Amino acid sequence: MRLDLGDLRTIAVGFVAAVAVLLVVFSLVGIDRVVSALSMANMRIVAVVAAVALCWLFSWAMSLRTVLGILGVHVSALRAFFLYAGATFANNVTPFGQAGGEPFTALLISRVTNAEYETSLGAIATVDSINFVPSISFALVGVAYYATVITLGDTVELVALAIVLLALAVPTAVVIGWQNRDRVGSGIAGGVVPIVGLIARIVPRVKPTTRSAVIQRIQGFFGAIERIAGDRRGLLLAVFFSAFGWLLSSISLWLSLYSLGHSVPFAAVLFIVPIGSIAGVAPLPGGLGGVEAALVLLLVPITGVSAATAGAAAVIHRGATYWLPTMLGGVTTAMLEADKVNGE
């Protein structure tokens, strides 16, 4: 799975834009104040944050392993962890988060497991979709806590409204899209064929495709989704691993604040983490810059911590849940590719 010059250029531009966003965010907060807050962090607790983040990554890897097992693709827990680390790496270096990283992730899974590309894409797309369910559920629990314990402020009310709208809009869109999947597939094929043809004129190694070939691949993808949806036990197990991962991610943010000397209601991070992760769909690598900004904007009014503390907590949390998995994923992707090449 090699990246060409165009891919590398896109990634580089994305990281430059992300760094610019980070500089703007932390300049507004006060870089010196954030650094000062970070210098006061309890490093033992920060180390625990990193360990929790690795457990989060492993839990979501088990969700991927479960889904692959439903599709008849069996991998060990360790190999699944490496695969999901590679998936996280792909998501974190490409724009638009999972939407940008899924094709690369599917290719990696396909190469490592010898599964069909459509099956691999169906597996990782299902895992990403499954992750939506517990994230919204946890967010609703957090909002319910605030609604019953304290008077909702303007910020929490806006967040609550956003959560409810997401909880309604996303499933509705998925159901409508699935009921009209043949029409959706035909529309995608109609758009993909001319685009691939145009690219083939510019890049010699890219071959033109046909409408029927694209539709056949899309049907293979839909077939994989149907097989997964038909295994309720496996699906529930995958949702469990996903939910446990979200819980660990929330613990990571809570501990990040605690390492700075601030103990906040756990309900707050239950909905700050999933809502903040929505910024990951921004055209930045893994939402870098956007997620940090969202965390600061949410933490200050909801938890009452200072902007500097919120910025420092965002740095610790994202260091554990973005930078650590990205570095680990980059190494494991290289290892998996090397193992695949040596096995051929």
Q: Helix, strand, coil: what percent of the chain each, to 5?
A: 85, 0, 15
**Position 263 pLDDT exceeds 80:** yes
Burial class (CB in 10 A: 0-12, 13-18, 19+), 5: exposed
For 97, which DSSP code? T
Residue-wise pLDDT tens digits, 219-253? 777 777 777 878 889 889 999 999 999 999 999 99
Three-state SS for 204?
coil
Dist. CA 9–CA 241, nearest whole Å: 35
Look-up of token digits 């090699």: 2
Task: Over range 295-300, report the average pLDDT.
Answer: 89
* pTM, 2 dp: 0.82
CB 304 within 8 A of CB 289: no
Task: Over range 5-21, report the average pLDDT.
Answer: 71
Dist. CA 234–CA 232, nearest whole Å: 5
**Position 206 pLDDT exceeds 60:** no
CA 131 from chain centre, in angstroms, equals: 9
CB 56 within 8 A of CB 252: yes
CB 200 within 8 A of CB 207: yes
Q: Which domain holds residue 185?
A: 5-343
CB 128 within 8 A of CB 102: yes
pLDDT of residue 62: 96
Band of pLDDT at residue 5, cut at 50, 70 and 90: very low
Q: What does each C-alpha distance from 80 to 50, 67, 121, 140 come to in angstroms?
A: 20, 11, 15, 30
Residue-wise pLDDT tens digits, 310-331? 999 999 999 999 999 999 988 8
Band of pLDDT at residue 68, cut at 50, 70 and 90: very high
Q: How many domains does the chain have?
A: 1
Top pLDDT among 60 and 142 is at: 60
Task: Over range 170-194, report the average pLDDT.
Answer: 74
**Position 267 pLDDT exceeds 50:** yes
Residue-wise pLDDT tens digits, 23-52? 888 888 899 999 999 999 999 999 999 999
> Which two three-digit tokens encode residue 249?
């991610």
Work out the percent of the chain whose per-residue pLDDT is above 90: 29
CB 124 within 8 A of CB 87: yes
Top pLDDT among 190 and 309 is at: 309
